[in-house]
Amino acid sequence: MTIIVFLSVLLGTMLLGVPIAFALLLSGLALMVHMDMFDSQILAQNLINGVDSFPLMAVPFFMLAGVVMNVGGLSKRIVNLAMALVGHVRGGLGYVAIMASVIMASLSGSAVADAAALGALLIPMMAASGHNLGRSCGLIAAGGIIGPIIPPSIGFIVFGVATGESISKLFLAGIVPGVLLGTALVMTWWFVARQDNIKPPPKKSHKEVIATLVDGVWALVLPFIIVFGLKFGIFTPTEAGVVAAVYSLFVAVFVYRELKLKDLVHVFVAAATTTAVVMFLVGSAMVSAWLITVADLPGQLIEWLQPMMDSPRLLVGVIMVVIVAVGMTMDMTPIILILAPVLTPLVKEAGVDPIYFGVVFIINTAIGLITPPVGTVLNVVAGVGNVKMDVLVKGLWPFILAELVVLALLILFPAIVTVPAHWFYH
């Protein structure tokens, strides 16, 4: 009955158009009333304590780094480097988009920021060169969701805070799956781009490639700093956020000089606005998470799924199917905050590595960012590319299918995640 009360209020308020953060608060309030323990002080205390977390301090810093990279010229130089390396091959602009997506994913950790930046830079170029507009926008959207997989990842930070798992281990475990997603997109683009009979631009000379590499080296150094620092324990994920923000500000202002000091206020406001939305969501979800724990909903869920507990792959597979369905109607952060604290103890009970589960969970919720009708990245790319949603979805489906195939492989063969992950953090 407790689960029914929680889900009924949550889904009912969302269907009425109530913002998700307030829907979470109302569902938590409903649980308190149902359990006859209503106390406004408990509600307020859990709301505040939900965001009183040292690991969550990484979120505003990575948000700031993402905004600075887009405004300060770092993103542009990554695209220029990818153009110099693979822009001359058939369908080269598509490979540029994928390569830039993977590199930028290792800088900002935000799918929306990456997709918006790459869309603004590459969609006009791809359309002007004769590529199908819907397919081009679909590729940009599919590449954007690599952002929450390769470290640094805001999704992994939220998952780690919600479940108590190591954020550093989650970061390092996401490297190989993120690269696999990029590889799957390359293979899919190679297949679909054959339909576009487009003459590629001439190959850049070695001198031009080196010049572009030298110009972009400042942007390329950051991912290595973050991964090196995390692997060898030089800094925590929160401190990595500070490093990313300070480094990107230094490069944008003093090296590339595309970000003027007078524009810093606008940059800080943009990062703070996005951060405030995330933090309010986290605080609201933590109210429900505390009440879910008090009501022992994980224990009830374990009883329901007990027949699958002896088959970890089947259990994870069923959970992933549920998350795919939920991802079509809900954004990434609320899914993590609502489901991760409930499901992680369940998979632990079944003997599943929680770090591995965190990786496939975040990949699944990231794919939800490009599934209609609610997909945030889908809507951002549609706006940036000025393309109708039905055209975009038609061009997107081969890339979603490729990413779902990667997710299925990770479920069937967990060693793809666990083996390299153990090497990274041991």
358, pLDDT greater than 90: yes
pLDDT, residue 362, reads 95
Of the two residues 242 and 106, the one the predictor is more confident about is: 242
Range of lowest pLDDT (151-155, 199-203, 404-408):
199-203
- Mean pLDDT, residues 49-73 taken together: 80
pLDDT, residue 66, reads 80
What is the pLDDT confidence band of residue 297, given thresholds at 50, 70 and 90? low
Of the two residues 227 and 192, the one the predictor is more confident about is: 192
375, pLDDT greater than 80: no
296, pLDDT greater than 70: no
The CB density around residue 335, as the number of other CB atoms within 10 Å, is 23
200, pLDDT greater than 80: no
Is 198 exposed, middle or buried, given 0-12, 13-18 or 19+ CB atoms closer than 10 A? Answer: middle
- Mean pLDDT, residues 208-236 taken together: 83
Rounded to the nearest angstrom, the gap between the alpha carbon of residue 3 and the centroid of all alpha carbons in its chain is: 28
pLDDT, residue 67, reads 84
Among candidate residues 282, 265, 267, 349, the one with its CA nearest the CA of residue 310:
349
183, pLDDT greater than 90: yes
pLDDT, residue 276, reads 84
The 3-state secondary structure of the chain reads CHHHHHHHHHHHHHHCCCCHHHHHHHHHHHHHHHCCCCCHHHHHHHHHHHHCCCHHHHHHHHHHHHHHHHHCCHHHHHHHHHHHHHCCCCCHHHHHHHHHHHHHHCCCCCHHHHHHHHHHHHHHHHHHHCCCHHHHHHHHHHHHCCCCCCCCCHHHHHHHHHHCCCHHHHHHHCHHHHHHHHHHHHHHHHHHHHHCCCCCCCCCCHHHHHHHHHHHHHHHHHHHHHHHHHHCCCCCHHHHHHHHHHHHHHHHHHHCCCCCHHHHHHHHHHHHHHHHHHHHHHHHHHHHHHHHHHCCHHHHHHHHCHHHCCCHHHHHHHHHHHHHHHHCCCCHHHHHHHHHHHHHHHHHHCCCCHHHHHHHHHHHHHHHHHCCCCCHHHHHHHHHHCCCHHHHHHHHHHHHHHHHHHHHHHHHCCHHHHHHHHHHCC
Q: What is the pLDDT of residues 9-57, one digit of tens each?
A: 877 887 787 877 788 788 878 878 877 777 777 777 877 877 777 777 8
What is the pLDDT confidence band of residue 176, given thresholds at 50, 70 and 90? very high
pLDDT, residue 3, reads 67
Task: Give the rounded percent of residues in the chain with a pLDDT score beyond 90.
Answer: 19
pLDDT, residue 302, reads 67
pLDDT, residue 374, reads 67
Q: What is the pLDDT of residues 102-125, one digit of tens each?
A: 888 877 667 877 788 788 888 888
pLDDT, residue 87, reads 74
Range of lowest pLDDT (293-302, 323-332, 363-372):
293-302
pLDDT, residue 56, reads 76
Most confident of the following: 293-302, 348-357, 416-425 = 348-357
413, pLDDT greater than 90: yes
290, pLDDT greater than 80: no
pLDDT, residue 403, reads 95
From residue 189, how far is each of 227, 288, 378 by CA, in Å?
28, 42, 18
Query: Is the C-alpha dihedral spanning 288, 293, 296, 301 positive or negative?
Result: positive
Of the two residues 408 and 33, the one the predictor is more confident about is: 408
Q: What is the pLDDT of residues 134-172, one digit of tens each?
A: 898 999 999 989 988 988 888 898 899 888 898 889 988
What is the pLDDT confidence band of residue 177, given thresholds at 50, 70 and 90? very high
Indicate the residue type of 207.
K
pLDDT, residue 2, reads 67
- Mean pLDDT, residues 372-376 taken together: 73
- Whole-number Å distance between alpha carbons of 45 and 267: 31
332, pLDDT greater than 90: no
pLDDT, residue 83, reads 82
Average pLDDT over the chain reads 84
